Chains A and B, each alone.
Chain A
Amino acid sequence: MIGGMLRLLRVLARRRMGAVLALVVLVGFALAVLARPVVWPHPPGAQEAGLVLQGPSLAHPLGTDGNGRDVLARVIDGARYAFAVPLAALALAILLGAPLGLAAGLGGGWFDALLRRVFQGISLVPPLLLAMALVAAMGPSLRHVVFAIGLLEAIVFARAMRDEVRALHERGFVEAATAAGNPLHRLVLVHLLPNTLARIAGEIPRQAAWALGVLAAMGFVGIATAADTTEWGSMIREGVEHLYAGQWWVVVFPGFALLVFGTALRVLAESIDEHGPRRAASGAMLAGVPGRPAGALTPRGAA
């Protein structure tokens, strides 16, 4: 059993090492969060007055912060946000975006044209800045962060979905399925959704990585939550003054956590793009932000 799994892992590793490594990193973060009370029993909120800004040591491998709290415990605890916020935002984005894209792709006509222009207009505002402004206006709360990110990512999914449906449409796919006697709901649920979702699967980890970056930027500027949390961006915010004073560990470790987590998600996205079913080549509607045009031609920036 274990030997079989090892062999499977080895085959996978030979074919797509990056994806395996990325999954190992993500699963590692998940296990660390779930098992934190066992693995590293330091409570992330506990302050020790005598241990303010201690460098990395055996007792505190990543040092302590300005309030004498253990940085390792806080970095592990911060992974909760890195999982929860992007996942919730993704769920909202797909729930909102996929039906919209389906409708535009199937319906075509003025609705499609109007939606395209509206998305084009909204995308003129850099999505990261728009998401931040939305949260600033609605007030600091993780629910608002999820709402703002989900709303902007819905545009990405709607556009991608629309392009895929359109591409299938043009190849006579919809016509054939309708001629075969499929009612609309069957056409959408059985034929269109699986075929399109499989093609935009790479977008899911990529948007998760984007959401993680937006969350961190909000935390860094101090608009994500009212109280200080273990979210990595806000940990960095709290640590900046110490960084300039030479206590680098307060900033560098949460920053590395962000970098490693984000890289794992992006590697996963690249791997899905490369090995999964090919995306439609049109990309005309996707050109721009915050999405990524089909294929590897126009990657989206990190922001």
Chain B
Amino acid sequence: MERPVRALLRRIGVGLFLALVVVFTSFLLVKLGAGPTDLLLGGPSPGVEERAQLVQDYGLDRPAFVQLVRYAIRVLGGELGRSWLTGESVLSELLHRLPATLELMLYAILLGTLMAVPTGMAAAFARDTAEDRTVRGTSVLGEAMPPFFLALLLLLVFFRWLDIAPAPSGRISIVLSPPPTITGSYFIDAFLMQDSIAARSALAQLVLPVFTLALMLGASLTLLVRGAMLAQMDAPHFVYARAQGMSREMLTIIALRGALPAIGGGLAAQSAALLSMTALVEYVFAWGGIGQYGLEAMAKADFAAVQGFILASAAIAATVHLLHAVIRRLARIRIRRA
């Protein structure tokens, strides 16, 4: 077989194996649960028919291995079951809420990177000075900050005390109705509909949650950028460039270019942490994304929804890793051409 084909097949094989591990984890979650599976999935008191249906759907009267296989087939076929609380299909509820979460994460990544890259670079160039130590200290503080506490602190200051931020009541003011769905982002949709009142409200609702997440992400990103820059600045080519008397701007560009792969890799590795933070921040701001959905499902013992949420989180993380791999591959091709 051709080498690229074999490499591709291998990648698909590994991907499939990872997917199976995730599905098994989600299966085990309910198996480890307190109580029989049908009661965990069907709520504390399902009707006789519902119970029979669950037993049949999941093969609960069969051995555990058969149950696992059935569950895997169901999940890989996109069947995530029904929430006993709302009676809705978990998959459609997740898909419905996904844009809200992605919007939050995307803005947080943009703003967080915008804050972290210059700060981390400045700290690296000022290595071991008071400036560097301040940046590092603040970053460690940010890493130790519980995301929900930062969200509450910002709400206390900007909503309760200064009264310039709106109440944490979701994605748009409660007196307005959400714009018709085009992209799923209330702000963009209202903007496209030229509904300036709704757009302004959606934007105002975005500010605090995005800022919370960007600060949290920025803290660890800053350390990452600083570390990656320092690694570059110790490299022989950089020492040589500096000895040549290159300008500070040129040196920055050289170091940043070399540090980009490490920064990108670190950002991809942060995706799981970002998802966790987003869930907690959504919970505080009643954001209505999949994070809030998942955490509330946990608190209310709605396990079909919890399983769906766990699978969805893994799917998002996997997508980020895939995107990262593709970007890295493309960048490598560009370097080879150049």
A interface residues (Cβ-Cβ under 8 A, vs B): 18, 117-118, 120-130, 132-134, 136-139, 209, 213, 216-217, 220-223, 233, 236, 240, 243-244, 246, 248, 251-252, 255, 258-259, 262-263, 265-267, 270, 287-290, 293, 295-303
Contact = CB atoms under 8 A, between A and B. Distances in A.
Across the A-B interface, the 10 shortest Cβ-Cβ residue pairs: A121-B21, A301-B273, A262-B144, A137-B33, A136-B298, A303-B276, A128-B276, A255-B149, A126-B272, A263-B144
A125 B18 CA distance: 11
A213 B318 contact: no
A117 B149 contact: no
Interface of B: 14, 17-22, 25, 29-30, 32-34, 40, 136-137, 139-149, 152-153, 155-156, 159-160, 167, 216-217, 219-220, 223-224, 227-228, 230-231, 262, 265-266, 269-270, 272-277, 279-280, 283, 294-295, 298-299, 301, 303, 306, 309-310, 313-314, 317-318, 321
Given A125-B313, A217-B148, A297-B262, A303 B277 contact: yes
A124 B318 contact: yes
B89 to A, nearest CB: 20
A301 B220 contact: yes
A302 B144 contact: yes
A147 to B, nearest CB: 9
Given A121-B18, A136-B301, A244 B160 contact: yes
13 contacts: A117-B21, A123-B272, A124-B21, A133-B294, A133-B306, A136-B306, A137-B29, A221-B280, A240-B152, A243-B155, A248-B156, A262-B144, A263-B141
Contact of A251 (B34, B152, B219, B299): B152
SS of A interface (majority): helix
A252 B149 CA distance: 8
Contacts, number: 209
A297 B146 CA distance: 22
Contacts of A258: 146, 149
A302 B142 contact: yes
B227 A138 contact: no
Contacts of A244: 155, 159-160, 167
A27 B83 CA distance: 47
Nearest to B31: A137
Contacts of A127: 272, 276
Contacts of A297: 224, 227-228, 231, 262, 266
Given A289-B272, A299-B224, A265 B144 contact: yes
Contacts of B155: 243-244
Nearest to B30: A137
Contacts of A129: 275-276, 279, 294, 309-310, 313
B144 A296 contact: no
B249 to A, nearest CB: 25
